[in-house]
Amino acid sequence: MGRSNLHGLSVRELGLLIEKREVSPVEVVEAHLKRIEALEPRLSSFITLVADQAMERALQCEKEIMAGQYRGPLHGIPFGLKDLYYVKGIRNTCGTRIFDQFVPDFDSTVARRLLEAGAILMGKLNLHPLAYGPTGENPDYGDMHNPWSPDRITGGSSGGSASAVASGECAFAMGTDTGGSVRIPSALCGLVGLKPTYGLVSRYGITVLSWSQDHAGPMTRTVEDCALVMNAIAGHDPHDPASAVTRVPDYTKALTGKVKGTRIGLVKEFFEAPLDPTIGSLVRKAISVFEKLGAQVTEISWPMFEYSAAIAGIIQMAEATAYHRDLVKKHGKELMPMVRLRLECGFFVSAVDYVQALRARTLFYQQSMRLFDGVDFLCTPSVPIPACPIGTTEVDIAGKRLGIIAALTQYTRPFNLNGFPAISLPCGFTHEGLPVGLQFAGKPFDEEGVLRAAYAFEQATPWHERRPSL
Amino acid sequence: MISKEIFLSIAEASGLDVKDPHMEELFGFVTKVLPSLRVIDRLDLADVEPLPTFIPQKE
């Protein structure tokens, strides 16, 4: 691989070159800045680019490495943060001009951990305003564009994170996921996106959408990269009241490629829900790959799946409006119209509705745990449709008309509600060349198992090797 | 189904500008979205408590 292609390398590949001093972090950052300069007019991945800071930091990393102070596999690696992760001294817009001049005076825990690991921040990435929408459209900072077909959505809300990584503007990025906002854009842009178990990765310093359903997660081009980022960001944080006290392993050690004897559950209700036939076919082919690798595949039932959107929706509306109540009252007219409507609608969710939804969530959680009595993982499509044209508000899926929000989130939302880990990774392409995602979900805190299964599939298939022709 | 009168009463109590023409659009949105969430009324929640702090347990 020539040095002109540094933007096309994975985190692991770049890290090895940097560790062996075959490539300098300065060269790596320069290559990514060139990529950003060339592609940003078409993609709108970034809200704030910090090119000068990135170059300064690259020089510092180079000095450290030359002095024998190599910090590990993220040292010198360029990354981006969805623009709701606080970074001291860099504005945090949350995707709306209302916060155009807001500059935090402290780092989010995730940002701090990545910077301490030696990663180099390239900038803050575009998102659906306030992270309240799954398409990746933004009237204030420009719609995000899918690198595989720029007239189509990236998915959201972490759309800028997805387009930046898929296009080679960053080696990896962080997103957040309240109803699928890491996994949906990862699926639509051909990436690996992990929503970790609730409590495993700190939410401290990340703008809230729904306290009890917000998750921070990495978006990468390979499963191994995802494991490397998790090694840096997972673990207890006393600043986050929901942070779990749990052992954090070296996630890369789980990547054995072996799934023989693993029990995989196919939730029949997921396949009875509206599903594009091409995606259904690709997911079934993916499942057959697991069978060839020695996994046992069983059909199971999740009766409460049909309630998940309503339960999660009530909780999200109440929590989002509680958090943003002053904002929507003072600045409602400045918000993206659908974001404004969703926030205002939360005022009409009663306290009784909210508590009933929390009670229903208890049942949902209990039933979710029982699913794993007979299987180790659940395997599902990530999203029921491929990326649709920007501006789409409704879609027709196998003869059923659905709003775009309900359609995009139908498979991801259940795992925000129960908090279980879930990953999306590429499992093929449509005839139009659009990526399709496969979702794996596991028991709470079994990220190792989820990554192991995802890695085994990735190594048995060629999908992660494709790049968009930009 | 929420009536227009109750809708406006809640909107006003919530601090929204009920004289804004936008209220018509919001009323249409609320009357479309909230009934779709009533599906949870079908669940038997007797003896089910809300989780006071939602943190998944390892086992």
Pairing of strands A172-177, A400-403: unpaired
Helix (H/G/I), strand (E/B), else coil: A158: coil
Mutate to test the interface with A, among B4, B43, B47 (most CBs of A within 10 A): B43
CB-based contact, B43 to chain A, within 8 Å: yes
Contact B51 A365 (CB under 8 A): yes
What are A197's two structure tokens? Answer: 């178990």
CB-based contact, B39 to chain A, within 8 Å: yes
CB-based contact, B1 to chain A, within 8 Å: no
Contact residues, chain B, for A199 at CB < 8 Å: 55-56
CB-based contact, A410 to chain B, within 8 Å: no
A243-264 pLDDT per residue, tens: 999 889 999 999 999 999 999 9
DSSP state letters, A248-278:
---GGGG-----TT-EEEEEHHHHHS---HH
A62-106 pLDDT per residue, tens: 999 999 999 999 999 999 999 999 999 999 999 999 999 999 999
A293-302 pLDDT per residue, tens: 999 999 999 9
What is the pLDDT averaged over residues A32-55? 98
Mutate to test the interface with A, among B5, B18, B58, B59 (most CBs of A within 10 A): B58
Distance (Å, whole) CA A422 – CA A340: 29
pLDDT of A367: 96
Distance (Å, whole) CA A254 – CA B47: 40
Contact residues, chain A, for B53 at CB < 8 Å: 241-242
Residue B56 Cα, gap to closest chain A Cα (Å): 6
The enclosing H or E element of A203 equals none
Judge whether residue A333 has pLDDT over 60: yes
Contacts of A70 (CB under 8 A, 6+ apart): A19, A64
What are A400's two structure tokens? Answer: 């059923």
Is A181 designated active site?
yes
What is the pLDDT averaged over residues A339-359? 97
* Partner residue opposite B58 with nearest CB, options A313, A314, A445: A445
pLDDT interval class at B1 (50, 70, 90): confident
Mutate to test the interface with B, among A359, A365, A367, A447 (most CBs of B within 10 A): A359
The residues pairing with A81 across neighbouring beta strands, listed in sequence order, are A124, A174
Distance (Å, whole) CA A371 – CA A467: 36
* Partner residue opposite B11 with nearest CB, options A246, A347, A445: A347
Contact A310 B40 (CB under 8 A): yes
pLDDT, mean over chain A:
97
Judge whether residue A2 has pLDDT over 70: no
Q: Compare all CA atoms of chain B with the CA of A420 and give the residue at the minimum distance.
A: B56
What is the pLDDT averaged over residues A399-414? 97
CA dist A164 to A35, A96, A160, A183, B36, Å?
10, 19, 6, 15, 36
Please name which of A163, A167, A119 lies closest in space to residue A144, comparing C-alpha atoms. Answer: A163
Contact B40 A356 (CB under 8 A): yes
- Burial annotation A276-291 (CB, 10 A radius, 16+ → b, else e): bebbbebbeebbebbe
* Partner residue opposite A348 with nearest CB, options B34, B38, B55: B34
Contacts of A154 (CB under 8 A, 6+ apart): A136, A144, A145, A146, A160, A162, A163, A185, A188, A189, A387
pLDDT of B56: 55
Distance (Å, whole) CA A225 – CA A205: 24
**CA A413, A329, A138: angle at the middle one, nearest 5?**
50
The enclosing H or E element of B26 equals helix B22-37
Q: Compare all CA atoms of chain B with the CA of A346 and give the residue at the minimum distance.
A: B30
Mutate to test the interface with A, among B2, B37, B57 (most CBs of A within 10 A): B37
Residue B40 Cα, gap to closest chain A Cα (Å): 6
Query: Which residue among the candidates A157, A163, A210, A308 is catalytic per the annotation?
Result: A157
CA dist A65 to A4, A23, A62, A78, Å?
22, 11, 5, 16
pLDDT of B51: 81
pTM (predicted TM-score): 0.97
Contact A348 B54 (CB under 8 A): no
Contact A419 B48 (CB under 8 A): no
Residue A441 Cα, gap to closest chain B Cα (Å): 14
On whether the CB atoms of residues A10 and A252 are closer than 8 A, the answer is no
pLDDT interval class at A1 (50, 70, 90): very low
pLDDT interval class at A3 (50, 70, 90): low
pLDDT of B54: 55
pLDDT of A134: 98
Query: Which residue among the candidates A44, A158, A167, A181 is catalytic per the annotation?
Result: A181
